[in-house]
Structure 1
Amino acid sequence: MCKSIRTVWLLFGNLAAGLGVALCTKAGMGVDPVSALYDGVHKIIGLEMGTASFVVNMLILVVCTLLNRKYLKWGTFLSMLSFAVSLNTFVGLVSPFTVEPYTVSGYLLFLAGMFLAGAGFSTVVFQDLGPNCADILLEVLKDKAGISMKYAKICVDLCCTVLGFLMGGAVGLGTVLCVCGMGHIYNRVFCIWQQAVSENGGGKRNAFTEESFRAGSDG
């Protein structure tokens, strides 16, 4: 695919991811570890959740760029900005609705949100226009600490979950479900993308995209 089409898909992926995280938040059962950190910062500082995600990602980006800037691309900043706008928009749209956590409707809303978030994030990663800040952090941690991408992801997830919880972020059963299940959604959507591109004469994505993706699919 040409870069302009991949840019559109990146924006669409972040739109889906923003809606997914907003739905998970509304379900009141917890969100994925990184979003739990966003939610914690949102509650501590008083920023909108999407704005909090942008602030957190900017801090991560600055630190990672100082340590190793080889994975930094323009798509990283575009992804950060479009996800923040999407998340703010959808959190505002769903806020008037009431859903009881841990009810049938709560579980259905959460599962729909987890699917959208997983599919959206996978779509963004596949476009290979620039890794998101979490993936850059994983790569830098892998290089500096000398550990595998899988264990780097476990460390990042644990840190985000603990920090999010301490700041009052949305940590609960849904967080566990995201850790266990979202990687499989990444996997399925990523494979669909790879098959579609291969059938149209495209090649595989770079090694960083493949490895960081596999770390995510390990949950």
Structure 2
Amino acid sequence: MLRLCFLILGLIVAHLGVALFLISNLGTDTFTVFAAGIAHFTGISVGLCHSGIQSVLIVFMLLFAKGYIKTGSFICCFLGGPIIDLFNWILGHFLTAGSPMPVRLAVMVLGCVILSIGMALVISSDAGTGPNDLVAVILTDKLGRFQFRTVRICCDLFFIMTGFLLGGTVGIGTVAAAFLVGPVVQIFRPFQEQWIQKILGKSQRRIN
């Protein structure tokens, strides 16, 4: 139960970062570019598109790769989109495409850091991850001929190109997300894992 709480906290933090990317109007992470492109094409919200795509992916995974899915995968699927829309609605009043560029750049960098912290917490919770992140893992295992990083890059390129063609914004924020999120996650993850294990250990001692 505690692991799911950490997962939800990580989701809230990560999707706050996504919302900051979106309102900076300088591009966002690869999957959100895809969701934003579909949102632009259909006229519905980014958050709703985000959850819709995740739902389609999780249905396919339930049919063909059920063993990869944990409880947290369903939480990621249905909670992420509404969180993005909520933060977008709240923060969108304070920053627009017409805001000064230095401010937008600062918000984008802040979004990158916050997204990384949230992702590190989601991973460290070990309670499951979003279907979009599982795609590369499953394809790597099923294909068996390519390294994970190669498959992940191909998935990211697909998300970026499709999202861009549908009207999503690709910019400096997309490049920042591609090259900085991973390393920043790597920095924060060991500290968060220690923190989670410490809290779980205290909880276990109380039960005993």
Structures share a fold, TM > 0.5? yes
What is residue 149 of structure 1 aligned with on the other side?
148
Q: What residue identity is the alignment partner of 1:136?
A: L
Structure 1 position 139 matched with structure 2 position 141: no
Bigger Rg, which one: 2
Distance 1:30 1:188 in 2: 23
Structure 1 position 88 matched with structure 2 position 85: yes
- The answer to whether the 8 Å contact 2:125/2:193 transfers is no
The answer to which of 19-28 and 142-151 deviates more is 142-151
Distance 1:200 1:10 in 2: 14
Q: Deviations over 1:140-194 (max 9, x none)?
A: 1102222111111101110000011001112111101110101011111212123
Question: How many pairs are equivalent?
Answer: 199
Distance 1:119 1:55 in 2: 25
Q: What residue identity is the alignment partner of 1:9?
A: F
The answer to which of 178-187 and 64-73 deviates more is 64-73
Q: Deviations over 1:32-62 (max 9, x none)?
A: 1011011111111222111110001111112
- Aligned pair in 2 of structure 1 residues 16, 201: CA closer, same or farther (>3 Å)? closer
Distance 1:28 1:197 in 2: 34
Equivalent position to 1:65, from 62, 65, 72 = 62
Q: What does 1:171-210 correspond to in 2, within 5 Å?
A: 171-197=170-196
What is residue 50 of structure 1 aligned with on the other side?
47
Structure 2 counterpart SS, 1:185: helix
- The answer to whether the 8 Å contact 2:55/2:78 transfers is no
Distance 2:93 2:84 in 1: 15
* Between structures 1 and 2, the one with greater helix share: 2
The answer to which of 191-200 and 59-68 deviates more is 191-200
The CA RMSD over aligned residues, in Å, is 1.8
Distance 2:6 2:29 in 1: 22
Unaligned segments of structure 2, at least 5 residues: 202-208
Q: What residue identity is the alignment partner of 1:195?
A: Q
Distance 1:101 1:180 in 2: 25
Q: Deviations over 1:193-215 (max 9, x none)?
A: 2333466786xxxxxxxxxxxxx
Structure 2 counterpart SS, 1:183: helix
Using structure 2 for the length normalisation, give the TM-score: 0.88
Distance 1:200 1:95 in 2: 35
Q: Deviations over 1:13-41 (max 9, x none)?
A: 11111211111111111001011011111
What is residue 31 of structure 2 aligned with on the other side?
34
Using structure 1 for the length normalisation, give the TM-score: 0.84
